[in-house]
Amino acid sequence: MRSIDLTAVSWRKSSYSNQDGGACVEISDDFAAAIPVRDSKVPHGSILVFSTAGWASFVAALKDGQLRG
């Protein structure tokens, strides 16, 4: 995947994130082929970038309960 500029993206908190400030994941919908993901508690920290297909598979597996321990 080529490099993308993440300096001006819009972030939204996951609807599954804890309202008390814990387990907060934010994603950006600003790109057609990639989904940037970050920890909202560390907004200037690392950002992971997933392909849209990879992110969709991950979310589907979570919803289906396949990734629970």
Cα torsion through 32, 30, 5, 8, rounded to 10: 170
* Dist CA 3 CA 42 (whole Å): 21
Report the predicted TM-score, pTM, of the whole model to 2 decimal places. 0.79
Q: Which two tokens stand for residue 19?
A: 């309202």
Within a domain: residue 52? yes
Give the pLDDT means over successive 10-residue stretches in the chain (69 positions).
82 76 83 92 91 93 82
Within a domain: residue 20? yes
* Dist CA 30 CA 28 (whole Å): 6
Within a domain: residue 45? yes
Residue 61: how many other CB atoms lie within 10 Å: 12
Looking at the structure of the chain, the number of domains it has is: 1
* Dist CA 58 CA 18 (whole Å): 19
Provide the domain limits for residue 40: 12-64
pLDDT at 11 (0 to 100): 94
